[in-house]
Structure 1
Amino acid sequence: MHLTRDDYEISIICALPLEAEAVRALFDEVDSSTSNENNEGLTKAPEDTNVYTLGAIGRHRVVLVSMPGMGKISAAATAATLKQSFRKIKLTLLVGICGGVPGEEVQQIRLGDVVIGEQVIHYDFGRQQETGLETKDDRRGSLGGQTPEIRAFVNKLKSGKKSLQEKVFTYLTPILEKSSPVNINLRDNLYLPGYWHIHRDGKGCIGEPCEMNKHICQGARISSCEELKCDRSQIDIDSRRKPKPSIHFGPVASGDKIMRSATVRDEIARKEQVIAFDMEAAGAWDYLPCLLIKGVSDYADSHKNKNWQNYAALTAAVCVKAVLEQWVTTEKRSKEFQIQHNYTNHNCNFYNQGEANNYGTLNLTFSTGGKGP
């Protein structure tokens, strides 16, 4: 089948290689490279520096792009460049891992759960004053909103949340049963917000020594809880991986800072009602019609580590597969139909009152602007 760039209306953007790898593993089909000059339909725009993997997930043709780095600037550049090559994109999925806000007992977010972002809050947007960062009151409105189609789609997903979770579990189970780096006994440890990840005895510190409520040294930041002998009595949640990941809908805070503070996390969450933190959504949101789907790999606190990243990336990727099953593609019309629709010649008979029984022909040619009915 001969494909052109206009055959792709879904794009997936990932910031980390492990995120892209998880999505790529779920492709049902991989198309030819965009750099294949012998296939005019799969080239890319001259100014496009992105690297793509093209293929299919289910019935959808999908563009997967890996960002050159993390953060808003990289995400914005990737999104803006993607638009140059793939002009028919109607849905862009921002897929990967994020830091979760634990929340209350009613809707408690756990490691491995999936967050679907209904809105993105640019939480580090403001002015740096002598007293600290003065955030702008309109940072919710500083980012473009989702299209009506995507908002309606999110509502559809929310109404079928239970069946969506079951579908994710159905796809996840056989993957976890195979020998895999994510098929290990992960432990979900949520420490109390006031309990910092520091050296308790002052030994092993690099640079300025650790001090509770004041400073965490560089050595502690790269050490595990086991190495620092973090007190397990300070754990709020202590359990192995849940058998089924849950799906949560809500606003997501996005910024260039890596959130590693439970105190700041909870303060922003209370103020903005966000359920997760990410670093890319604020960059891509204004350029493409976006929907964020990310797996929770940590609690955005000082005990943050990489143990859950592979599993969280996998649950997000599996959720993408389940979500796309409910997305309806645009009807593809033939080239002949488009030409006939865009430029229509109408021959209209008219009566010339100046001469009895003298009929003429008036030729009206007009363009409908290329839009469908």
Structure 2
Amino acid sequence: MNGQDRPSSRDQFGIAIICALTLEANAVFCSLDEIWHDAPQIYSKAPGDPNQYVFGRSGRHPVVVVTLPGMGNVQSSGAAAYLSMSFVSIELALLVGICGAVPYRPDGKDIILGDVVMSEVLVRLDFGRQYPNEFRRKDTILDRPAKQSHVILSLLKNWQSPVMSQQLHTKMMEHLITLMCNPYIDTEYPTPSSDLLLASEYIHKHHGVCFECSQAESTCATALNASCEELGCDPHMLI
């Protein structure tokens, strides 16, 4: 599919990509094979839809990309609702972005900077009841988000097999190398020595003369943007 083979209407878009941050959306734009800059004038939105869309092609698939006006569940749910109203043919919506946590895999191995994470299920961590000593998440059947389609679940299961996982890894590396050559990707993969992970109980703050950082559970504004070397963090706390 080239620029002349675009869908004739917005009802022919089957894939949507949602990003919360401009940084994330820029990486998605750079990964597209084509961006149709004049498409917003061709594929009009449904009346009342405030989303701003970018249209393009990934492989043989026409995709529509929306960047959220802000972070949070309210922004994402509102944008998704408007998206489904304007593009009724969407079959797959991908929430693509930077993972804001450092979890561990079920086998105990840690997930490090640069790993790609694909979710099988959605878990609402902010939906529940606050008790005096704990927050208890609602996890009954009616409280859980809907599961992905059988097509997507089957595809994820295939990728978990060693043969398909290796093929996926190889192809992703090829695409990543191409993506990093894009002049609009203003980033580079950090060296292992610069990717420092400290114990969760160790606070990233000045460990010298700083009145605010000397207070318990307090960190000054300067420390938030300083490196471990500048703050004098204890290397024995690295994990």
Structure 2 length-normalised TM: 0.84
Cα deviation digits, residues 126-148 of structure 1 (max 9, x gap):
12233342333438942111122
Matching residue's letter, 1:120: L
Counterpart Cα distance in 1 of 2:212 and 2:141: 38
Question: What residue is the counterpart of 1:271 in the other structure?
Answer: none
* Cα distance, 1:61–1:28 mapped onto 2, change above 3 Å: same
CA contact (8 A) 1:51 1:65 kept: yes
* Cα distance, 1:71–1:174 mapped onto 2, change above 3 Å: same
Counterpart Cα distance in 2 of 1:120 and 1:45: 28
CA contact (8 A) 1:122 1:140 kept: no
2:54 pairs with 1:59: no
Question: What residue is the counterpart of 2:170 in the other structure?
Answer: 166
Matching residue's letter, 2:172: V
Highest Rg: 1 or 2? Answer: 1
* Cα distance, 1:73–1:178 mapped onto 2, change above 3 Å: closer
User: % of aligned pairs identical?
Assistant: 34
1:205 to 208, 212, 215: 212
Matching residue's letter, 2:174: T
Question: What residue is the counterpart of 1:3 in the other structure?
Answer: 8
2:186 pairs with 1:181: yes
2:156 to 154, 157, 175: 154
CA contact (8 A) 1:200 1:228 kept: yes
2:131 pairs with 1:129: yes
Cα offset, 1:234, TM superposition: 1.5
Cα offset, 1:230, TM superposition: 1.1
Question: What residue is the counterpart of 1:234 in the other structure?
Answer: 237
Cα offset, 1:102, TM superposition: 3.9
What is the 5 A alignment of 1:35-74? Answer: 35-36=40-41, 39=42, 42-74=43-75
Counterpart Cα distance in 2 of 1:66 and 1:178: 20
Counting matched residue pairs gives 227
**What are structure 2's unaligned runs of at least 5 residues?**
none
Counterpart Cα distance in 1 of 2:157 and 2:107: 24
Question: What residue is the counterpart of 1:13 in the other structure?
Answer: 18
Matching residue's letter, 1:195: Y
Question: What residue is the counterpart of 1:286 in the other structure?
Answer: none
Cα offset, 1:191, TM superposition: 1.4
Cα offset, 1:178, TM superposition: 7.0
Structure having the higher strand fraction is 1
Matching residue's letter, 1:21: N
**What are structure 1's unaligned runs of at least 5 residues?**
237-373
Matching residue's letter, 1:170: E
Matching residue's letter, 1:234: M
Counterpart Cα distance in 2 of 1:140 and 1:116: 24
Structure 1 length-normalised TM: 0.55
Question: What residue is the counterpart of 1:114 in the other structure?
Answer: 116
Question: What residue is the counterpart of 1:364 in the other structure?
Answer: none
CA contact (8 A) 1:197 1:216 kept: no
CA contact (8 A) 1:16 1:69 kept: yes
Structure having the higher helix fraction is 2
CA contact (8 A) 2:30 2:179 kept: no
Matching residue's letter, 2:166: K
What is the 5 A alignment of 1:279-358? Answer: none
Cα offset, 1:162, TM superposition: 1.2
CA contact (8 A) 1:34 1:52 kept: no
Counterpart Cα distance in 1 of 2:13 and 2:57: 9
Cα deviation digits, residues 72-114 of structure 1 (max 9, x gap):
1110001000001100111111101002314477643111000
* Cα distance, 1:14–1:177 mapped onto 2, change above 3 Å: closer
* Cα distance, 1:218–1:148 mapped onto 2, change above 3 Å: farther
Question: What residue is the counterpart of 1:79 in the other structure?
Answer: 80
What is the 5 A alignment of 1:255-266? Answer: none
2:98 pairs with 1:97: yes
Bigger RCO of structures 1 and 2 (CA < 8 A, at least 6 apart): 1
Counterpart Cα distance in 2 of 1:32 and 1:181: 21
Cα deviation digits, residues 32-91 of structure 1 (max 9, x gap):
54541xx4xx11101211000011011000011100001111100010000011001111
Matching residue's letter, 1:197: H
* Cα distance, 1:103–1:227 mapped onto 2, change above 3 Å: farther
